[in-house]
Amino acid sequence: MKITFLGTGTSQGIPIIGSTHPVCLSSSKKDKRLRVSVLIEWNGFTYVVDCGPDFRYQMLRANCTKLDGILFTHEHSDHTLGLDDIRPFYFRQGDVSIYAHKRVLKSLKTRFDYIFATKNRYPGAPTVITNRVKNEVFTINNQEVIPVNGKHGNLQVFGFRFNDFAYLTDMKTVKDKEVEKIKNVKVLVINALRVEPHQTHFNLEEALEFIDKVRPEKAYLTHISHMLGFHDDVEKALPENVFLAYDGLQITI
């Protein structure tokens, strides 16, 4: 299984428009972060978790020419606004499968009504195959997927486990019974917004505490804001098995 970090930034990305914060002015490629998303490939199949407003560029940058489906963690704009950009995949492949909580599917149908329309469809609109995700194991292309339920402030969000890889973002609270689903995975990806506490996201301290609970072989931090600091400085201070993810990073499990 190959994992590509398409984006590792928070909702505004880094740099933020018009910001003069030192991290936003950094010349390091590792400090330039698109909205958070990850590409997962196995046995010739290609899936992404979330498709935000940078989705088109992320697909071009990753040279991705095939998309079997999209898994959504939740409905916020930085995770969903790229849905219209599945059109090139649709024109080549046909309907694209999407997987999401029923609440998220309802939100997508409202925002992208022309995609889900059954009558008088716009001829250039893509179509999707909707799959409702519950907090139950499901299978896509012979790959077992385990949803991990959590809270993003008061909003329910899903993380996902694929074999020994677990991807969680926008988490603030995760119950112990959900943590049990991902204990001792080889690779855990978890959000770490900044050093200071935040009402809807793990900060760095909370993310490291969560990693200690899960005990993965390796952990990568994502959904990072400019307030966390420069990539190279932050990574030097992390535990030996914890790394700061960056756009374009690829790992194989």
> SS3 for 155?
strand
Confidence class for position 151, pLDDT limits 50, 70, 90: very high
Q: What is the pLDDT of residue 130?
A: 98
pLDDT tens track for 177-228? 999 999 999 999 999 999 999 999 999 999 999 999 999 999 999 999 999 9
* Cβ atoms of 201 and 210 closer than 8 Å: no
Rounded to whole angstroms, how far apart are CA atoms 103 and 212? 31
Confidence class for position 69, pLDDT limits 50, 70, 90: very high
Residues 6+ apart with CB under 8 A from 56: 82, 85
* Dihedral of the alpha carbons of 135, 187, 51, 116, in degrees to the nearest 10: -30
Question: What is the biggest distance separating any 2 CA atoms in the chain, rounded to whole angstroms?
Answer: 57
Q: Which residue, among 127, 137, 150, 164, has the nearest Cα to 210 in the 3D structure? A: 150
Q: What is the pLDDT of residue 87?
A: 96
Residues 6+ apart with CB under 8 A from 59: 6, 67, 85
Q: Which residue, among 223, 214, 96, 108, has the nearest Cα to 161 in the 3D structure? A: 214
Q: What is the pLDDT of residue 120?
A: 87
Share of the chain above pLDDT 70, in %: 100
Judged against a pLDDT cut of 90, whether residue 63 lies above it is answered with yes
Q: Report which residue type is found at 155.
A: L
Q: What is the pLDDT of residue 35?
A: 98
Rounded to whole angstroms, how far apart are CA atoms 91 and 126? 8
> How much is the pTM?
0.96
Confidence class for position 131, pLDDT limits 50, 70, 90: very high
Judged against a pLDDT cut of 90, whether residue 73 lies above it is answered with yes
> SS3 for 241?
coil
- Please give the DSSP secondary-structure letter assigned to residue 203: -
| C-alpha distances in Å from residue 101, one per residue of 12, 19, 134, 156, 236 | 24, 35, 6, 9, 37
What domains can you pick out in the chain, each with its CATH number? Answer: 2-252 (3.60.15.10)
| C-alpha distances in Å from residue 92, one per residue of 23, 88, 100 | 40, 6, 23
Rounded to whole angstroms, how far apart are CA atoms 28 and 230? 9
* Strand 138-140 relative to strand 143-152, pairing: antiparallel
Mean pLDDT of the chain: 97
What's the mean pLDDT in 139-161? 97
DSSP bridge partners of 100: 132
What's the mean pLDDT in 117-146? 94
What's the mean pLDDT in 70-90? 97
Q: What is the pLDDT of residue 123?
A: 86
Does residue 15 have a cis bond before it (omega within 30 degrees)?
A: yes
What's the mean pLDDT in 144-150? 98
Judged against a pLDDT cut of 90, whether residue 148 lies above it is answered with yes
Rounded to whole angstroms, how far apart are CA atoms 68 and 180? 29
Judged against a pLDDT cut of 90, whether residue 138 lies above it is answered with yes
Judged against a pLDDT cut of 90, whether residue 104 lies above it is answered with yes
